Amino acid sequence: MPRYSNAIVRTPAFSLAQGITTQALGAPEIDLAREQHAAYVAALRSLGVEVTVLDADEQYPDSCFVEDPAVICNGVAIITRPGAPTRRGETGAIREVLRALMPVVELGGGEDARLEGGDVLMCGQRVLVGKSKRTNHMGIKRLAAHLREIAPQMSVTAVPLEGVLHLKTGMTALRPSLLLRDPACRIESRFPFARTFTLPRAQGYAANVLPINDGVLIAKGYPLVATLAREHYERVIELDMSEFHKMDGSLTCLSLLW
Ligand code: CIR
């Protein structure tokens, strides 16, 4: 599974509740969100990842979801063009931070290309890219063009989807050959390289898992995924994600890893 040594995260802004959401779970409580975020950072560190914590950016309520403005592959960062207009400006600060750390390229493709990192699922040598409300055909084409240069061994497949925000909101890989899917995530594509385990609807949120080195982060309160995760990993870290869930956020969105 993926080996990571570094991560960037951003402290949730006090303005978090003003961010975008499709959930009807109430407003997030910022103090609790920050506690949950601190636990997330501690979990990454406990798995051997060096974490840089960026200050909160009050101008952008969704800016703690750092996964969306960039995609990192083979030590190169691709700065995306978020489909959500209120999030487009988040790329500026992330670009500056990443430039000091690695080569950085722009998505390109003009104003019409849209891509958010939450739609990019790396699964072994395969990259599945959600064609969602936030990521379009041109964005996927541009990502594929960059990856041909950066990681020619990887194949890119577009995955049209409905029902959830991003591809990774509704499907991630517990192992490269084991996908977990929230039934709310409607996908026509088939993935012959893996077994797809569809969770019961009430546990759908737990389809977003984050394998890191020898362990895996999972959302707390979803026993089926906890059992599955323990079958595959020695270290399973369960994190309370309640406040991020209210804002359509999940485990993967809170970090950029490389
Ligand atoms: C948004 O709607 O953009 C944020 N409230 C949540 C983004 C979650 N990001 C992710 O799943 N990668």
Q: How many domains does the chain have?
A: 1
Could you say which DSSP state residue 73 is in? E
Please work out whether the CB of residue 208 comes within 6 Å of at least one atom of ligand 1. no
pLDDT tens digits along 103-139: 999 999 999 999 999 999 999 999 999 999 999 999 9
* Residue 1 belongs to some domain of the structure: no
**Closest atom of ligand 1 to CA, residue 119:** 12
For residues 93 and 95, what is the distance between their CA atoms, to the nearest angstrom? 5
The angle at the Cα of 43, spanning 210 to 93, to the nearest 5 degrees, equals 75
Instruction: Give the pLDDT confidence score for residue 2 in this predicted structure.
Output: 75
* Residue 115 belongs to some domain of the structure: yes
* Residue 221 belongs to some domain of the structure: yes
Size (the chain), residues: 258
* Residue 19 belongs to some domain of the structure: yes
Residue 111 phi/psi, 5° resolution? Answer: -60, -25
* Residue 43 belongs to some domain of the structure: yes
Rg, C-alpha atoms of the chain:
17
Strand, coil or helix: what is 36? Answer: helix
Name the residue with the closest Cα to ligand 1, atom 8: 249
Please work out whether the CB of residue 238 comes within 6 Å of at least one atom of ligand 1. no
Q: DSSP characters for 209-231?
A: -EEETTEEEEETT-HHHHHHHHH
**Closest atom of ligand 1 to CA, residue 116:** 12
Q: How far is the CA of 55 from the centre of ligand 1 (A)?
A: 18
* Residue 31 belongs to some domain of the structure: yes
Which long-range contacts (C-beta less than 8 Å, at least 24 apart) are formed by 177-180?
A: 177/124, 178/232, 179/123, 180/206, 180/207, 180/209, 180/225, 180/228
pLDDT tens digits along 207-250: 999 999 999 999 999 999 999 999 999 999 999 999 999 999 99
Name the residue range of residue 181's domain: 6-257
Residues designated catalytic? 166, 253
* Residue 198 belongs to some domain of the structure: yes
Instruction: Give the pLDDT confidence score for residue 23 in this predicted structure.
Output: 97
The angle at the Cα of 216, spanning 57 to 229, to the nearest 5 degrees, equals 135
pLDDT tens digits along 54-67: 999 999 999 999 99
The domain that holds 193 is classified in CATH as 3.75.10.10
Could you say which DSSP state residue 165 is in? S
pTM, whole model, 2 decimals?
0.97
pLDDT tens digits along 154-191: 999 999 999 999 999 999 999 999 999 999 999 999 99
Instruction: Give the pLDDT confidence score for residue 1 in this predicted structure.
Output: 65
* Residue 78 belongs to some domain of the structure: yes
Pairing type for strands 186-187 and 155-162 reads antiparallel
Instruction: Give the pLDDT confidence score for residue 75 in this predicted structure.
Output: 96
Residue 151's pLDDT band, with cuts at 50, 70 and 90, is very high
In the chain, which ranges are continuous DSSP H helix?
30-46, 90-99, 137-150, 167-170, 223-232, 242-245
